[in-house]
Amino acid sequence: MSIDGYVDDVAEDRLLLSNDADFDRVDAVRAACDAILVGAATVRQDNPRLLVRSRDRQKERVARGQQPTPLKVTVTSSCDLDPRARFFTLGDVDKLVYCATPTLELARKKLGDVATVVDGGDPLDLRRVTADLYARGVRRLMVEGGGSMHTQFLTEGLVDELQLVVAPFFVGDSRAPRFVGDGAFPWGPDHRAELAEVRQIGDVVLLRYKLSDRFDAV
């Protein structure tokens, strides 16, 4: 996020907040996960690839018996998703779309050839999503935004670790999306989160918070 807590600006192009060294660190974190989840709005707006980029890290994953890059996961209630988005077309890996029950049929028609469409409930329930992912072998899920997903995973108490990177500039436009929206977060003035690590990476800073006993310090 920016110094003032935004994860994008209002321009059409995606705002780059990290530097090269931090993008590489994120690649290493991705490589250590079983699945990467983003909200459907991020798929629509940023058209992200969500792949492990480093060939060496891909090879290490294969040597461990994993697919070269983690499962891709998104959630939607509208199913306004383009099957030509890079989320679906890139990476020889399963793509999972958790969809609210009322749009399940539409989602299967639209995305059935490019993804596995799963009933997420009505309304969609993130605990059901994470339980289903667990049943599919996912032990480490990386949630990479946007703000709506961060807010829901945090307020639901589903997060073991928060990695927050602060870029050295301001966005200064309240129309831009923030790192999180409004919500009843488990961590407030009377229940402070545990800061586990602070790391300078060039001109950005990484803050790691331990949010549950499942936090893995390594």
Ligand X SMILES: NC(=O)c1ccc[n+]([C@@H]2O[C@H](COP(=O)([O-])OP(=O)(O)OC[C@H]3O[C@@H](n4cnc5c(N)ncnc54)[C@H](OP(=O)(O)O)[C@@H]3O)[C@@H](O)[C@H]2O)c1
Give the binding site for ligand X (CB under 6 A): 7-8, 14, 17, 38-42, 45-46, 75-78, 80, 100, 123-124, 144-149, 152, 177
Q: Could you tell me the smallest distance in angstroms from the CB atom of residue 38 to ligand X?
A: 6
Taking the CA of residue 128 as centre, how many other CA atoms within 13 Å lie in the half-sphere pointing to its CB? Answer: 13
CB 117 within 8 A of CB 8: no
Residue closer to ligand X, measured from CB, 46 or 161:
46
Q: How far is the CB of 41 from ligand X (least distance, A)?
A: 3
Least distance CB 64 / ligand X (angstroms): 27
Distance from chain centroid for Cα 58: 19
- Under 8 Å between Cβ of 38 and 145: yes
Task: List all residues 6 or more positions away from 147 whose beta carbon is below 8 Å from its beta carbon.
Answer: 7, 177, 178, 179, 180, 181
Nearer Cβ to ligand X (102/137): 102
Q: How far apart are CB 5 and ligand X at their closest, in Å?
A: 11
Burial of 27 from C-beta contacts in 10 A (0-12 / 13-18 / 19+): middle
Residue nearer to ligand X on the CB measure, 123 or 188: 123
Between residues 132 and 144, which has the closer beta carbon with respect to ligand X?
144
